[in-house]
């Protein structure tokens, strides 16, 4: 693999603009090559070209020897790099090309100017990130002190120090922990040096926990005082804390810590250490790849221009902050020592197993079964069509009535499968363009689903639903199986029950970690105003707004089987209670998003969340009026439905295109796109899949089931 492709492959997507512009420098070198070829047209003889190259090199050497004072090394006569100071501390490198008068010298001046810009850019970015991580490390160091103090207090509850007030330690610890929003060191940089050997302090503190005297307070007094200095910031992250925050309820009692609270704090701090270690590895890889890029581009320069300047420039690069700093290495050693001592019971093997990024192994059996189930699904769908045609169901009134009752029950599985396939497609493109979606969504590392697993689940569900539908047709249409008619009516309910059993199964089968993560997100969406809104929460709630018809089919299942009136869907639709819930169910997804927007506005004080909430209000009104028109008909309801639907479609389309996708921006450097593109191909920003997704959401508003 060429270095350019490898360099792009190992880029952190969020830092793409901060990497050295390797391709831009290559374009300048290609221009230098064309310039030399145009001035020396020539000859096709390889040996003669080689001879001309050496002639130019030695003529340049003699020229330098006669006109420029020698500095002892021929490379010193090609470039001269000056180190300047900016803002009193930051170094800025500026290279002077000493052979500008020679052929192609103008292009080479442009090359070194661009090279200096890239080196200064990379140096500045790297130094800012290191300073941010050092600042973050000081917070982690404070957290370790607080954790050790908490361990002392839990293990020795009879210790009596100064007047400690009751505090929720889990919230105390989380207040200082770096959150996912500050991923990759995105907090504002601040220089706070930490001890060069912090692991020694941590080890001493850990020994202090084990050797504390239960009858004396002096051994743990200094550490326990840490708990007094910790400030609690109530972020309203749970329903209870939200309710207390709204009613401003605060109650101070005596200090009372327990082991469940300690385990909760340890688990969260352990997770933060792992994420911090991962960020350090990303920054170390950033340094390595950029150093390699500078080395490769200088080798290309020497090869094209036949001038030897690589050693001189690489000395400058190696002496810069990018090549000479060892803070990241020291932080890695500190995290390893602290984590192994405090969270792995001094077991280095287990500690490093938890710290090292886990690459998920792709299993061939997943691909095999995905293909197998896909083939089975196609075969079953063909069998269903042939079965319907063989009995001429659509040409008979009885057959049409039967399909109107049984087909909507299986439509639910079609909606789920279609949604899973679209989600699998999203995951494929995320991986294709190096979007770190497991970290963005907060999936447990090593257990997150890939697009192969999602497609496997969707094709497996397609096989089950298709087989159930075919079994229904066989049992109901065959005269020899009429006695099994009651059993055939229960097939859709059995499939839905099986789906719920698998989803809520507590055993470690069928991707338990992902299932529980999904259930947790669903619960947080339902309790939208009481929980702090995270990215997975509003992403899932936004997806649910496209599944209004699926929610209505759930209501149909309840009426269809609850009333014991099988094959009488029209009777369900005539119930007043059914029609009332028909309104409510359609509004639920949009109402959840509305509550999430209100919660985010209360926390962020950003007016954009209010506009987003108004957008969902317009959608709720449109859905209600459209549903009323479906049930009551009439010209007045038709006009109101058209007007409200047009307003909702216009608002939603504008929001998606301009605000969410960042399209139609005239002042952007990318024509009608956002300034920062996630993918390199601009055509993908206008992809058909994106527009179809938007159209699909609008269809939910305008078209009845």
Q: Give domain status of residue 440, yes or no.
A: yes
| Residue span of the structural domain in which 442 resides | 359-526
Confidence of residue 683 (pLDDT cuts 50, 70, 90): low
Letter string b/e over residues 619-630, b meaning 16 or more CB atoms within 10 A of that residue's CB: bbbbbbbbbbbe
- CA proximity to 600, closest of 613, 615, 617, 587: 613
Out of 251-260, 453-462, 679-688, give the one with best mean pLDDT.
Answer: 453-462
Task: Report the alpha-carbon angle 493-499-501, nearest 5.
Answer: 100
Nearest to 544 by CA among 616, 449, 608: 616
- Total structural domains in the chain? 2
3 state DSSP class of 411: helix
Chain segment 482-491, per-residue pLDDT in tens: 666 777 788 8
* pLDDT band per the 50, 70, 90 thresholds, residue 133: very high
Least confident of 4-13, 338-347, 451-460, 686-695: 686-695
Look up residue 393 and give its DSSP letter: G
- Is 659 a residue whose pLDDT tops 90? no
End residue of a domain, out of 258, 284, 310: 258
113 within some domain: no
Length of the chain equals: 705
91 by DSSP, 3-state: which? Answer: strand
Q: Which H helix or E strand runs over 95?
A: strand 90-97
The encoded tokens of residue 313 equal 């420039």
pLDDT score at 237: 63
List the single range of 185-194, 355-364, 638-647 with lowest mean pLDDT.
Answer: 185-194
On whether residue 283 sits in a domain, the answer given is: no
Of 497, 526, 555, which residue constitutes the final position of a domain?
Answer: 526
Q: Of 39, 42, 38, 61, give the one whose Cα is nearest residue 50.
A: 42
CB burial of 373-395 (b: ≥16 within 10 Å; e: otherwise) equals: bbebbeebeebbeeeeeeeebee
Judge whether 157 lies within some domain.
yes
Convert the pLDDT of each residue in 369-417 to its tens digit: 999 999 999 999 999 999 888 878 777 777 777 787 788 889 999 999 9
User: Does residue 110 lie in a domain region?
Assistant: no
pLDDT band at 110 (very low <50, low <70, confident <90, very high): confident
Residues 254 and 370 in one domain: no
> In whole angstroms, what is the distance from residue 170 CA to residue 241 CA?
12
Alpha helices in 396-442 (DSSP H): 397-432, 437-441
Please tell me the distance from the alpha carbon of residue 116 to that of residue 15, in angstroms, as a whole number.
19
Domain boundary among 526, 556, 572: 526
| 371, part of any domain | yes
Pair (248, 368) in one structural domain: no
Residue 98 DSSP one-character state? T
| Per-residue burial over 224-261, b = 16 or more CB atoms within 10 Å of its CB, e = otherwise | bebbeebeeeeebeeeebbeeeeeeeeeeeebebeeeb
Q: Is the pLDDT of residue 606 over 80?
A: yes
380 lies in the same domain as 246: no
602 falls within a domain: no
**Residue 537: burial class (beta carbons within 10 Å; 0-12, 13-18, 19+):** buried
User: Helix, strand, or coil here: 535?
Assistant: helix
Q: Are residues 219 and 364 in the same domain?
A: no
Q: What burial class does residue 578 get, using C-beta atoms within 10 Å of its C-beta: 0-12 exposed, 13-18 middle, 19+ buried?
A: middle
Is 2 within the bounds of a domain?
no
Rounded Cα distance, 335 and 330, in Å: 9
Single pTM value for the model: 0.73
Is residue 364 located within the same domain as residue 247? Answer: no
């Amino acid at each position: 693999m060429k270095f350019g492709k490898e360099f792009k492959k190992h880029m952190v997507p969020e830092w793409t603009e901060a990497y050295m512009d390797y391709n831009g420098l290559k374009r300048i070198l290609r221009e230098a090559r064309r310039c030399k070829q145009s001035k020396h047209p020539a000859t096709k003889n390889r040996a003669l070209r080689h001879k001309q190259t050496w002639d130019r090199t030695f003529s340049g050497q003699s020229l330098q020897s006669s006109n420029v004072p020698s500095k002892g090394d021929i490379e010193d006569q090609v470039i001269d790099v000056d180190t300047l100071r900016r803002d009193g501390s930051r170094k800025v490198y500026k290279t002077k090309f000493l052979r500008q008068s020679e052929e192609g010298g103008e292009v080479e001046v442009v090359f070194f100017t661009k090279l200096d810009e890239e080196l200064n850019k990379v140096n500045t970015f790297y130094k800012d990130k290191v300073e941010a991580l050092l600042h973050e490390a000081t917070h982690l160091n404070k957290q370790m002190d607080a954790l050790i103090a908490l361990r002392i207090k839990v293990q020795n509850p009879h210790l009596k120090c100064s007047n400690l007030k009751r505090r929720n330690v889990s919230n105390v610890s989380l207040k200082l922990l770096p959150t996912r929003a500050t991923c990759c060191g995105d907090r504002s940089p601040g220089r706070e040096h930490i001890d060069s050997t912090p692991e020694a302090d941590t080890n001493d503190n850990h020994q202090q926990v084990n050797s504390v005297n239960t009858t004396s307070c002096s051994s743990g007094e200094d550490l326990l005082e840490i708990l007094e200095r910790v400030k609690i910031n109530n972020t309203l992250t749970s329903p209870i804390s939200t309710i207390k925050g709204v009613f401003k309820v605060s109650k101070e009692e005596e200090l009372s810590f327990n082991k469940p609270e300690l385990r909760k704090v340890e688990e969260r701090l352990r997770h933060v250490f792992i994420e911090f270690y991962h960020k350090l590895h990303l920054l170390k890889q950033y340094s390595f790849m950029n150093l390699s890029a500078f080395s490769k581009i200088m080798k290309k320069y020497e090869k094209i221009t036949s001038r030897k300047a690589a050693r001189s420039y690489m000395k400058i690069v190696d002496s810069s902050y990018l090549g000479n700093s060892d803070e990241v290495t020291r932080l890695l050693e500190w995290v390893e020592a602290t984590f192994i001592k405090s969270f792995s019971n001094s077991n280095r093997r287990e500690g490093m197993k938890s710290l090292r990024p886990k690459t998920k192994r792709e299993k061939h059996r997943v691909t095999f079964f995905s293909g197998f189930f896909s083939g089975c699904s196609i075969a079953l769908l063909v069998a269903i069509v042939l079965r319907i045609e063989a009995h001429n169901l659509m040409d008979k009134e009885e057959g049409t009535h039967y399909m109107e009752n049984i087909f909507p029950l299986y439509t639910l599985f079609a909606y789920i499968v279609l949604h899973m396939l679209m989600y699998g497609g999203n995951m494929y493109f995320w991986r294709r363009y190096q979007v770190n979606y497991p970290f963005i969504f907060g999936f447990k590392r090593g257990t997150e689903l890939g697009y192969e697993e999602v497609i496997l689940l969707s094709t497996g569900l397609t096989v089950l639903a298709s087989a159930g539908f075919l079994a229904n047709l066989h049992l109901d249409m065959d005269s020899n199986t009429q006695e099994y008619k009651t059993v055939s009516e229960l097939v859709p309910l059995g499939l839905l029950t099986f789906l719920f059993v698998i989803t809520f199964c507590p055993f470690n089968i069928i991707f338990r970690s992902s299932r529980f993560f999904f259930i947790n997100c669903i619960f947080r969406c339902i309790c939208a105003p009481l929980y702090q809104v995270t990215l997975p929460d509003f992403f899932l709630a936004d997806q649910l707004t496209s599944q209004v018809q699926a929610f209505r089919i759930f209501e149909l299942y309840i009426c269809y089987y609850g009333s014991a009136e099988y094959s009488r869907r029209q009777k369900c639709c005539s119930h007043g209670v059914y029609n009332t819930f028909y309104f409510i169910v359609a509004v639920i997804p949009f109402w959840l998003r509305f509550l999430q927007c209100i919660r985010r506005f209360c926390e962020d004080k950003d007016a954009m969340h209010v506009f987003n909430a108004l957008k969902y209000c317009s959608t709720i009104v449109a859905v209600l009026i459209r549903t009323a028109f479906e049930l009551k008909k009439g010209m007045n309801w038709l006009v109101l439905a058209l007007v409200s639907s047009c307003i909702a479609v216009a608002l939603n389309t504008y929001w998606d295109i301009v605000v969410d996708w960042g399209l139609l921006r005239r002042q952007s450097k990318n024509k009608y796109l956002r300034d920062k593109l996630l993918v390199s191909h601009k055509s993908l920003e206008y992809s058909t899949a994106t527009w179809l997704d938007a159209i699909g959401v609008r269809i939910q508003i305008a078209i009845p089931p």
